[in-house]
Amino acid sequence: MSLKDSELEYLSGFGSYHSTEAIPNTLPIGRNSPQKPAHGLICEKLSGSAFTAPRKENKQTFLYRILPAVVHGKWAVYNGSGQISNHEINGNKAATNQSPTQPDISQIPDQLRWSPFEAEEGKNFVTGMRLVCSGGSPELKNGLAVSIYTATEPMPKRQGFYSADGDMLIVPQQGTLNVQTELGKLVVEPTEIVVIPRGIRFRIDAEVSADTPLRGYIMEIFGPNQFELPDLGVIGSSGCANPRDFKIPVAAYTEDYGTEWEIISKYAQKLFFIRQNHTPFDVVGWHGTHYPYKYDLKMFNAINSVSFDHLDPSIFTVLTCQSPIHGTAIADFVAIPPSMWVVAEDTYRPPWFHRNCMSEFMGLIKGRHGAKSGDGFAPGGASLHSVMSGHGPDAVVHKMATEAPLAPFKTGDNMSFMFESSLFLGVSTWALNVCGKTQDDYNSHWEAIVPTFKPPELFSGESDASTQ
């Protein structure tokens, strides 16, 4: 049945803040995400801009709906004929929608989750790196790549490595890294991170074997900027990651000339090598602002709600690489530290259901993640929620969150993190088809969510009525 324009009501005013409800008293007053929205509805946030975009440019809408948008089956390729062709992301099957400029990368809207990545036998830190997803281009010095690394062997004794592509933020999940760089040495343990800027030569030493492998995550930013601390705005002059807690190595050198060294370069996402008859680690002194550094994530001074509502995860940003658009990042590194108090009252305490204009890659260092039940999201695994693909708590956590008594509690010894980007992140063939860790049933954890919508008797059934 076709509608006539005269039969509809509209809101007026471009750029204004609007609100509307088809059933009276649907919208919560003075808050966004109550524990139990009216009429058994579910709160979902739709982000049309970065969380950190300036307020006058920030675009977001809270929706109170019967079921969240993430409740659906698997994505498939639409061929225009009304038929669907599943692109089958698991097993040794070809991925579709590959990028024309990066044939190993597939741009797909799937919500993806990986079980813990297994160490490959006979690999070291360099040869054990595997690309998971990327966006942009190192050749244009704009974008990022996300990789995992595993190692069962140390790097060869006289071997160094550097990346010409960008700055590498390394998140160890299993195994301590002894990092020797041109500018000095660092010891980096799980729950710490280390950043090795573009061009600095380094090597990873560790006590490693097939029984005690290394495993971790890497976010490499190609540009256009480098990592920096985010502006604190109204938080004030301290909080979050404080500058004094970052540690920079002091000069340390070795004398080794007349013996052969191998130097591997990551250049335009490929590996090259040279040989030379001296160590690259012979710097006796240095001064400047281009240097490696490490940070203990347990030192993060978390800021969170002490009254109501779940705040945007950007409040946990440790480091950011900004794009030319103010407040929008090429890459944010967000860490959820352990042992945080959760005290928000009358609040749906897990992250709300969400569709985001950003891409979100998550990893787990230890413990559990508050929005996931069971062992599906485990330390050493990962998930990727692409631009505007729905995500949020699974069915078990959602039910618990709407029924739990809201007493204050501490989150425990858990630590997760997120690499967030304004770019589309294409997924590598290795991550889709080769690693064997993609969870084929990921969507089913949301499909189990059942509606609890109970409209007032007067409004039962479909309604296009609206009240302002």
Measure the CA–CA gap between 246 and 250, rounded to whole angstroms: 13
Question: Which residues share a beta bridge with 174?
Answer: 215
Show the tokens assigned to 163. Answer: 């990346």
Kindly provide the b/e burial profile for residues 383-411, where b requires at least 16 CB atoms within 10 angstroms of the residue's own CB.
bbbbbebbbbbbbebbbebbeeeeeeeeb
Q: Write out the two tokens for 354.
A: 């969400």
Cβ within 8 Å of residue 454, ≥6 positions away: 39, 40
What φ, ψ does residue 305 adopt, rounded to 5°?
-70, 135
324: tokens are 């030319």
Which sequence positions are flagged as catalytic? 310, 354, 360, 385, 391
d(CA 76, CA 360): 21
State the burial class of residue 375 (Cβ atoms within 10 Å of its Cβ: 0-12, 13-18, 19+). Answer: exposed
Enumerate long-range contacts of 435-439, CB under 8 Å, 24 or more apart. Answer: 435/114, 435/117, 435/130, 437/114, 437/115, 437/116, 437/117, 437/118, 437/381, 438/89, 438/90, 438/112, 438/113, 438/114, 439/112, 439/113, 439/114, 439/115, 439/376
For residue 333, the cross-strand partners are 319, 419
- C-beta separation of 468 from 11 below 8 A: yes
Name which of 224, 218, 176 is nearest 419 in CA terms. 218
> pLDDT tens, position by position, for the chain (468 residues)?
688 999 999 999 999 999 999 999 999 999 999 999 999 999 999 999 999 999 999 999 999 999 999 999 999 988 876 555 555 544 444 444 554 445 589 999 999 999 999 999 999 999 999 999 999 999 999 999 999 999 999 999 999 999 999 999 999 999 999 999 999 999 999 999 999 999 999 999 988 888 999 999 999 999 999 999 999 999 999 999 999 999 999 999 999 998 999 999 999 999 999 999 999 999 999 999 999 999 999 999 999 999 999 999 999 999 999 999 999 999 999 999 999 999 999 999 999 999 999 999 999 999 988 778 878 999 999 999 999 999 999 999 999 999 999 999 999 899 999 999 999 999 999 999 999 999 999 999 999 999 999 999 876 666 554 444
Q: Which of 135, 131, 132 is nearest to 144 (CA)?
A: 135
Cα 76 to the center of its chain, rounded Å: 24
Rounded CA-CA distance 350/353 in Å is 9
pLDDT at residue 371, rounded to an integer = 75
Q: Which amino acid is at 49?
A: S
Q: Which residues contact 31 (CB under 8 A, 6 or more apart)?
A: 308, 309, 346, 347
Q: Which pLDDT value is given to residue 462?
A: 61
E runs forming strands in 83-156: 84-85, 105-106, 112-114, 129-137, 142-151
- The C-alpha angle with vertex 311 and arms to 386 and 115, in degrees rounded to 5, equals 40
Token digits of residue 284: 């006796």
Which residue bears the tokens 């930013």?
221
